[in-house]
Homo-oligomer: A and B are copies of this chain.
Amino acid sequence: MKKFILFSLIWIAVINISIAQKLLSPDENLEMEFSLQADGTPVYSLNYKDKKVIEPSKLGLDLKEEEDLLKHFSIANTEESTFDETWEPVWGEVNEIRNHYNELEVELVQEGTERILILRFRLFNDGLGFRYEFPSQENLGHFVVKDERSEFAMTGNHTAFWIPGDYDTQEYDYVESRLSDIRSQMEKSITANVSQTSFSPTGVQTSLMMKTDDGLYINLHEAALIDYSTMHLDLDDENMVFTSWLTPDANGDKAFMITPAQTPWRTIMVSDDARDILASKMTYNLNEPSKIDDTSWIEPMKYVGVWWEMITGKSSWHYTDEFKAVKLGETDFEAAEANDTHAANTKHVKEYIDFAAEHGFDGVLVEGWNVGWEDWFGHSKDYVFDFVTPYPDFDVKEIQDYAESKGVEMIMHHETSSSVRNYERHLDTAYQFMKKYGYDAVKSGYVGDILPRGENHYNQWMVDHYLYAIKKAADYKIMVNAHEAVRPTGVARTWPNLIANESARGTEYQAFGGSKPNHVTVLPFTRLIGGPMDYTPGIFEMDISKLNPNNNSHLNSTLANQLALYVTMYSPLQMAADLPENYMKFPDAFQFIKDVAIDWDESIYLEAEPGDYITVARKEKNGNDWFVGNVNGNEVRTSNIKFDFLDKEKTYIATIYSDASDAHYKNNPQAYEIKKYRVNSKSKLSQKSASGGGYAISIMEADRSEAKSLKKL
């Protein structure tokens, strides 16, 4: 509290108010109302420009082994305040973020137990955040949350973009349906995953994107998920009321709390313009400022990797076919015969380093470099990797020296196989090993069921682990890109060395049977709300059988769409995921991946409709170049954009990488066109995007003479 008091511009203390409390957003478009029901149950509701967004919805928590925190409350105190500051993210879509909200703090006391519960509401122009706070008090020290009962009562049968609620995976294709159809579509939407635990036929994950029939865009998520379990939403599909559904531990308990404590923020973003949802920084704003003082070592990276060839089945992570089972420290890899497919060998890695150096990539990721991949999965293996022992054909020192000589950073890979105790036991030595060999970034993975057995990927125990790994990495000045870890909730503001997560269905699924063609028009409205994704775009060869004759998967995307993703899927970590030889087949298109920036001063969402299209323009950090990306959904569409974001004084050359007129994600994905134009702030573009297509534009400042030969757009 103290901190915010310092920044407060307005401060109003209202004592012992028991009538309804109203709170307005700074722009007064949003109005939140809080009150107590006759039985002392807290209730809130939310309006946007006089439209109801949230009908009166109850708040409270079920506790284990003591009286619940659901009702019998009276208001002891309320306080309103305003906060307005601007902060600079270490990396991001913009160079400055305004954090501006009006706050209502409601101090409740429960009759009988005399326990104090604080509800804190923050109303931004782009939405509402609220959380429960449990101050230090005589009658509440330690308690166990049996469940949280935060309601989000919808006003109707909205259209939702949802994935099945699950304790162990987020890697589902999004379903677009009416709320009333979630139940009927649930079963077929739960596609197979190597670790999955669904819990309810109407349970869905956050961030949940919705659209109302009267044109409102609503997004439900959470912010600052720290020391608590991940929230799902369970829908009462008769009344269209979502209730929070927390992720349990092995015993079914949801969260162990010690006062003073608080829950994460529950967030409701709302606008009548879908672009506002994409541009919102509310989730970051509800997180604490960076706890890393010196962030100079945290740097966005564009990288290639020894990875897609394994994902497609062309190569293998494991080194030998000799072992039925591996015991680290006992199994003799030096004496074993290498198979023909092990990709992470010194010679091959050097080829990637050469490629990265030649084309200006910052880094090279190598998976399958360390012993243990022979039986790493599906055996609930405890001591599965030690993270410091390379296979005989991977010479860490030689590779590092070579990479250094070429000015390329090596990126470490730590697949944990979800054996989390084992990873924590090796974390210090693993990070030390990285620093010894000059690695500053790690991609970690949590494939398979969690060990300790009975735990799952998103409960409080594991949420704590992911943060533990991030904090410890920060001690070593290591950047983390955690795959299969819990979905982000803006925590990267506080720990900006968390440069990316997977936490959704990434490009790899295009090699596992494919994702929906409009998948990438949904992700920015859902998964990216909490932070950047290591989506690993840039696949140029959509026919996976060309890499591996046994894999008939097809990438449901055009090549132009793949280029656009570097702009539409914001991340400070961007991979060019395809094989070097595939890039070399399309060097003109590859030029965009080489050119595109990865850190930005400005981002302007030009067009957006979840499931249909997203068009965004971004200005590179500390530079004058702009990049535009458009991703298109299932239907062919013409995008119409203006270049009025450009500097009015300047002339630019725009290189447009677009779908050819006959392009189609399925039948003709590699059909693209590249055209160059002279553009300025008055230019306009009308550009057709194919089904599953899109376009990418680089806009580089140019001498008037240089641009003169080009056609004006």
Residues of A within 8 A of B (CB): 136-138, 140-142, 144, 249-251, 253, 256, 258-260, 324-327, 330, 375, 379-382, 421, 424-425, 428, 452-455, 461, 464, 468
Contact = CB atoms under 8 A, between A and B. Distances in A.
Contact of A324 (B136, B250, B382): B136
Given A258-B381, A325-B141, A379-B258, A453 B136 contact: no
6 contacts: A137-B324, A250-B250, A250-B454, A258-B327, A258-B379, A382-B464
A388 to B, nearest CB: 16
Given A138-B324, A325-B141, A381 B256 contact: yes
B324 A249 contact: no
A169 to B, nearest CB: 19
A185 to B, nearest CB: 31
Contact of A249 (B136, B137, B141, B453): B453
A472 to B, nearest CB: 9
Contacts of A144: 380
B256 A324 contact: no
Contacts of A259: 324-325
A142 B381 contact: yes
Contacts of A138: 324
Contact of A251 (B324, B453, B464): B453
A580 B202 CA distance: 67
A382 B249 CA distance: 13
B253 A453 contact: yes
A250 B325 contact: no
A453 B251 CA distance: 7
A251 to B, nearest CB: 5
Contacts of A251: 453-454
Given A249-B453, A251-B454, A454-B455, 7 more contacts: A141-B325, A142-B325, A144-B380, A250-B454, A256-B379, A452-B461, A454-B454
Copies in the complex: 2
Contacts of A421: 421, 424, 461
Contacts of A452: 250, 452, 454-455, 461
A260 B329 CA distance: 13
Contacts of A453: 249-251, 253, 461
A18 to B, nearest CB: 28
A338 B259 CA distance: 21
Closest A-B pairs by Cβ, 4 of them: A250-B454, A141-B325, A452-B452, A141-B324
Contacts of A382: 256, 461, 464
Q: Which of A136, A452, A464 has the largest number of chain B CB atoms within 10 A?
A: A452
A279 to B, nearest CB: 35
Contacts of A455: 250, 452, 454
Nearest to A429: B428
A281 to B, nearest CB: 28
Contacts of A454: 249-251, 452, 454-455
Given A250-B452, A251-B453, A142 B379 contact: yes
Contacts of A428: 428
A259 B464 CA distance: 33
A468 B256 contact: no
A141 B375 contact: yes
A535 B249 CA distance: 36
A142 B424 contact: no
Q: Which of A421, A424, A455, A468 has the largest number of chain B CB atoms within 10 A?
A: A421
A104 B204 CA distance: 59
Contacts of A256: 379-382
Contacts of A380: 144, 256
Contacts of A327: 258, 260
A246 to B, nearest CB: 15
A144 B379 CA distance: 9
Nearest to A250: B454
A266 B425 CA distance: 31
A325 B250 CA distance: 24
A311 to B, nearest CB: 24
Contacts of A468: 425
A256 to B, nearest CB: 6
A118 B344 CA distance: 38
A137 B325 CA distance: 9
Contacts of A325: 136, 141-142, 258-259
Nearest to A380: B256
A383 to B, nearest CB: 9
A454 B248 CA distance: 12
A432 to B, nearest CB: 11
A378 B370 CA distance: 42
B324 A375 contact: no
Nearest to A137: B324
Nearest to A142: B379
Nearest to A384: B258
A256 B422 CA distance: 15
